[in-house]
Structure 1
Amino acid sequence: MSSSINPRTYDPVPARRVAFLGLGVMGYPMAGHLASAGHTVTVYNRTATKSEAWCAEFKGVATVKHAKTPREAAQGADIVFCCVGNDDDLRSVVLGADGAFAGMQQGAVFVDHTTASAAVARELYGAARTLGLQFIDAPVSGGQAGAQNGQLTVMCGGDAAAFDAVRPTAMAFSRAFTRIGDSGAGQLAKMVNQICIAGLVQGLSEAIAFGQHAGLDMPLVLDVIGKGAAQSWQMDNRGKTMVEGRFDFGFAVDWMRKDLGLVLDEAKRNGARLPVTALVDQFYADVQRAGGNRWDTSSLITRLAPKKD
Structure 2
Amino acid sequence: MKSSRLVSILLLLQTRGRMTAARLAEELEVSVRTVYRDMEALGAAGVPLYGDAGHAGGYRLLDGYRTRLTGLTADEAEALFLAGVPGPAAELGLGPLLAAAELKVRAALPAPADRISARFHLDAPGWYTDADETPFLPAVAGAVWNNRVLKVRYRRWREPTDVERRLEPYGLVLKAGRWYVVAGPGPRTFRVDQILELLPCDEEFERPPDFDLVAHWTAYQRDFLARLHRDEAEVRLAPGRTLPRARTLGTEPDGWTRAVVPIESVDHAHGEFLRLGADVEVLRPAALRAMIARTVRELAEKYGNFAADGGH
TM-score, with structure 1 as normaliser: 0.24
Higher relative contact order (CA 8 A, sep 6+): 1
From the two aligned structures, give the one with the greater helix fraction.
1
TM-score normalised by L of structure 2: 0.24
Which structure has the highest strand share of the two? 2
Structure number, greater radius of gyration: 2
